[in-house]
Structure 1
């Protein structure tokens, strides 16, 4: 039987016994000693387990911790036991005195046989932390609890590993709490960070408020996606709704357009006409090819605005086309024109040119972009 199975067996035993226990001594014998045995310590061997171990602190003499667990003849863990009928809330200080009195000990456990609180000295060496790095209910163990308790087994226990793992648990707990709060109610800084990663628009308070529900929805969809992909394909889970970057872009453009008027120039219309002519020349269906002008770019799409294949920027000193082609493929089709990376997540490549007449030299690239549409 493996360690996890031993703990599961102990969990069942605790559930069966606890209602028949009403004092500390019976709690020790029926619930806590079996836990110590599960960790691999010989409970009747004083070289490994010593009850009523003296841990005097300062002027206070006769202090005794319920159990001291030894490895290589040195104390490594203290266990302070309380009756299964007691709440552990107000007993940390007592355990702290024992822990602080014996520098060799790096793990202190407070338990009533059902609930366990694990302490160490992350904040100040040889001084027990005020808060436990781990709390668990032996009758309701999580997968992560089995993994952690494995590190406390006699054969595997080391002080260095304990401190490293305890520190990880503390940070993980703090990070989970922060992420949980951010996911439930994304704050302005978090929303602003995400907007800047997908767009170049000016982030105002109005933009943040518009994006906040989208961020919450995107987080929810992403979590569902991660969970669903980790499950068996036989469960036939529905694919979660995904918010495409293009849809976000349209919302961004709407917000931006409220600040600046969109003016479609003759040069942009000429670019559209030239693209349509090139596609027609190669026998492509141009009946549903249209354009969308924004304050960020002049886009050409087929059927709907999210199905774009070219985006022009003709307002800047360096005219360029943004495409969904990867950089290497764009270079092969660019007929010697300079190719660079796009900004943010706006396409995959950027081709620089001088005038609308140059589009004739980019026919192969334009047709390839059209052909890539779904």
Structure 2
């Protein structure tokens, strides 16, 4: 992809993601997910969903009369299906559990070179990079439109998505591209590991190239914070260079004659788990079911979340003033632990429930109170 086109494509994709996230709470089943989320993505990539010779819904490709294989959409090129799309309802618990149907179609349709599995917000892209017509176990590209709507999408993902557009998609080359992407992701993971804890087999050659040889094990351990500090400084300089900001003087951890001690290691990166996303998606869908007033229904799209170490905060418009609840991650078999504000009317506020449906009453009460407080207008009672 031309680097000059990347910012423009990014802006269009972020805007598209925002519209999709706003539409998602109204997608109550698989059909509405297809209509309001999947079809718009197909159009975003340049394919004409109104042309059955280009986009065909409920397309089948069978091994035999006994074994029927269908996908929700097949995208055609030169009168042959080249892309298969399998859709699930928004908030499907685990897309990975639904790969079998897509894999079967992928295997049966010899011209298909890419499979897409989606719930309308999370998108996973699969190819046959290891063996022809055998769908890879892992996606070569994955993104969540909720993250994209917040601008959280890297250039590599943008380039990968752009390569799937109608004007540039090359079915014969997608397997090789996917292989490169898998290798890229693997290398990136290794770099992250080296960055956080440089192994001896990496540290010794690096120090040797820096002019320090014949290191004892003790000396090597003493230099390890220096290597980690140099990594951090390199990344910081790259960021500052892109932002066109002045570079601060680096602090060399553990260096001779340095009075200040090395800074403590940063906190572990925060990873939003599938269970937390499940809780957030449930909140949107459940409120859409519980709310009866149109003005209150329209405010559901303003619900967002923020992840912290040890807690997952769901809020309406404003994180503090609009907080709906805090969810505490625990073991899957131990139920769901929530902390609700006093507006919920729940006593005690810290509660563990077996199913998410058990929070209906405090969730609705809190949402109504937050909307009334922030919008500063009374929220009418739900009709009987």
Instruction: Name which of structure 1's ranges 114-123 and 185-194 shifts more when overlaid on structure 2.
Output: 185-194
Change (3 A) 1:13 1:200: closer
SS of 2:146's equivalent in the other structure is coil
The counterpart of 2:248, out of the listed 235, 238, 243, is 238
Q: CA RMSD in A?
A: 2.6
Tell me the alpha carbon deviations over residues 186-237 of structure 1, each in whole angstroms, 9 at most, x when there is no partner. 11111112122223632322222122111111211222222222321xx444
**Bigger relative CO (Cα 8 Å, ≥ 6 apart):** 2
Query: Does 1:74 find its partner at 2:86?
Result: no
Give the structure 2 partner of residue 137 of structure 1. 144
Change (3 A) 1:8 1:53: same
CA distance in 2, matches of 1:122, 1:44: 31
Question: What's the offset of the Cα at 1:116?
Answer: 0.4
Tell me the alpha carbon deviations over residues 103-148 of structure 1, each in whole angstroms, 9 at most, x when there is no partner. 2111100000000010001111210011111110123231423222
Where structure 1 has 5 or more consecutive residues not aligned to the other structure, the ranges are 251-374
Q: TM-score, normalised by structure 1?
A: 0.61
* Aligned ranges 1:92-131 → 2 under 5 Å: 92-131=99-138
CA distance in 2, matches of 1:242, 1:35: 48
Conserved 8 A contact 1:71-1:154: no
Conserved 8 A contact 1:107-1:118: yes
Change (3 A) 1:205 1:4: closer
Query: Does 1:177 find its partner at 2:189?
Result: yes
CA distance in 2, matches of 1:19, 1:120: 30
Change (3 A) 1:153 1:61: same
Change (3 A) 1:140 1:161: farther
Give the structure 2 partner of residue 19 of structure 1. 25
Question: What's the offset of the Cα at 1:5?
Answer: 4.5
Give the structure 1 partner of residue 325 of structure 2. none
* Aligned ranges 1:1-374 → 2 under 5 Å: 3-57=9-63, 60-87=66-93, 88-141=95-148, 142-144=153-155, 145-199=157-211, 201-232=213-244, 235-241=245-251
CA distance in 2, matches of 1:197, 1:179: 19
CA distance in 1, matches of 2:131, 2:173: 17
Conserved 8 A contact 2:21-2:145: no
Q: TM-score, normalised by structure 2?
A: 0.59
SS of 1:180's equivalent in the other structure is helix
Change (3 A) 1:201 1:154: closer
Which runs of at least 4 in structure 1 moved beyond 6 Å after TM superposition? none
Conserved 8 A contact 1:54-1:65: yes
Conserved 8 A contact 1:6-1:38: no
Question: What's the offset of the Cα at 1:78?
Answer: 0.2
Question: What's the offset of the Cα at 1:241?
Answer: 3.7
Change (3 A) 1:200 1:68: same
Where structure 2 has 5 or more consecutive residues not aligned to the other structure, the ranges are 258-384
Give the structure 2 partner of residue 369 of structure 1. none
Question: What's the offset of the Cα at 1:80?
Answer: 0.2
Who wins on radius of gyration, i.e. which is larger? Answer: 1
CA distance in 1, matches of 2:89, 2:166: 25
Question: What's the offset of the Cα at 1:169?
Answer: 1.6
Conserved 8 A contact 1:78-1:108: yes
